[in-house]
Structure formats: structure tokens, C-alpha cells
Structure 1
Amino acid sequence: MKSLDDDQAVEAVSIPLAGKSSIADYMVVASGRSSRQVASMATKLAQKIKDQFGHSPKIEGLNTADWVLIDAGDVIVHLFRPEVRSFYNLERMWAFGDASPEHA
């Protein structure tokens, strides 16, 4: 999440998925102010993951950058433009059983 904070991501939240799903241990959801910022954050984050862990994460949605998904194995990162994030509201969908998602 530090990489996202460095890139001025908006409203970054981490949602624990343990016991809710086998797809990952955590989901991170954040917004950028524009498609250009979302694409930039995704590209930088993917490079940092590759540098640190030696493998490139799977990335989807980079061409339009309205919603970019980065699959880093144990962590799934969703980067949105604000209006797209509001429409899909992943935090609410995945935070079932929790009072609220963890803010990191």
C-alpha cells in the first residue's frame, strides 16, 4: 500500500479475505483521479512487485484504465476511477460480516 500512497491513491482500503474466499488473502481497493493516474499507479505497482518478488503480476484493464486489476497472488489490487469504483462498490460486496473494511 505504500506504493499506492506514494502515487497519491485516493481512499485505499485493505480487505482481509481469509475465510471468505480462496482467491487471495487480501484485496486492496483504491482510486486514482483519472485514467492516466490509474494506469500510472498500476504500472509502477506491477514493476515494484516484479522487482521485489521476481515475477510479473497479471494485469487486466490497463488499456482503458477505468478499472485495473492486478493479481499479485496472495493480494488482489483493484484500481479505479472514482465513478467506476462507486458503481461497482467492491468494498461493500467483500466486507460482508465486517463492520467496515480496514483502512490502511
Structure 2
Amino acid sequence: MPAPQELTSKDQLDLILQSLDDDKAEEIVTINLAGKSSIGDYMIVCSGRSSRQVSSIADKLAEKIKHATGRVAKIEGKETGDWVLIDTGDIIVHVFRPEVREFYQLEKMWLQPGSPAPAI
């Protein structure tokens, strides 16, 4: 088992995107926040098909971050599974049920007007 290490924001991003893909997250959107906000370098918004899947995606992602870096990601909202926020320090991940994501339309607040959402 490799020792925890300090990952760059890009390395964390790659780890997170792989985890989300492995856990079948849907409609993954990555938003570069560098120079736009002090909350982090990237924001990721994605969906899970059910409350159970949303919670599972968050749990597995937090575990992979802990295993890779030795740091514990902050998690909010896992109890209900409608919208879970995972804060890794450099990257904020939002995992929604589709109906909740549609209601809040969070990524639209951060993307440039008129530009399509970058899908990964």
C-alpha cells in the first residue's frame, strides 16, 4: 500500500474524476475556479441516480482521498443523499440527485454566459 502523499490540484482532479467515473456518476462537469474564487482550484458537479448512489459516491470518494493523501475530506449533506458536498481543500465536489441538481442549477452560476458546460 503506497504511503499518503501531497497531491497537486491536477493530481487530485484526476483522482476525483476517476473515482466518479468508477462509481458511475453521471453528467460530470468540471469548472476551473483558478483566478475566479478563493474556495478552491476546481469545482466538480455530477449526479447520482438515487439518494443511495449519491451517498455511496461521496463515501467512496472521501475514502480514496484519505487513502491517497492521508487527509480527511469534509462532507456535508450525506444524511439525506439529495446533495452531498465533498471539500478536499483544493477541489469542491457536488454530487446531486438529478431533480435537485436541476432545481439549483449550480454549474450555471460558475460557467461563462453562452458557453456550453464542459463534459468529462
TM-score (structure 2 length as normaliser)? 0.83
Determine the structure 1 residue equivalent to 2:5.
Answer: none
Unaligned runs of 5+ in 1: none
Q: Distance in 2 between matches of 1:27 and 1:3?
A: 15
Determine the structure 2 residue equivalent to 1:88.
Answer: 104
1:45-60 to structure 2, matched below 5 A, reads 45-60=61-76
- CA deviations over 1:36-74 (Å, ceiling 9, x no partner): 000000000000000001111000000001000000011
Determine the structure 1 residue equivalent to 2:59.
Answer: 43
Between Structure 1 and Structure 2, how many residues are aligned? 104
Task: State the secondary structure of the residue aligned to 1:47.
Answer: helix
Task: State the secondary structure of the residue aligned to 1:50.
Answer: helix
Task: Determine what percentage of the aligned residue pairs are the same residue.
Answer: 62
Write the letter of the residue equivalent to 2:115. Answer: A
Q: Distance in 1 between matches of 2:113 and 2:71?
A: 33
Determine the structure 1 residue equivalent to 2:119.
Answer: 103
Unaligned runs of 5+ in 2: 1-16
Q: Distance in 2 between matches of 1:42 and 1:28?
A: 12
TM-score (structure 1 length as normaliser)? 0.95
Task: State the secondary structure of the residue aligned to 1:103.
Answer: coil
Determine the structure 1 residue equivalent to 2:6.
Answer: none
1:70 paired to 2:95 = no
Structure 1: which 4+ aligned runs deviate by more than 2 Å? none
Q: CA RMSD in A?
A: 1.1
Q: Distance in 1 between matches of 2:67 and 2:114?
A: 34
Deviation at 1:98, TM superposition (A): 6.8
Deviation at 1:14, TM superposition (A): 0.4
Deviation at 1:97, TM superposition (A): 5.3
Deviation at 1:17, TM superposition (A): 0.6
Deviation at 1:18, TM superposition (A): 1.1
Deviation at 1:100, TM superposition (A): 2.6
Per residue, is there more strand in 1 or in 2?
1
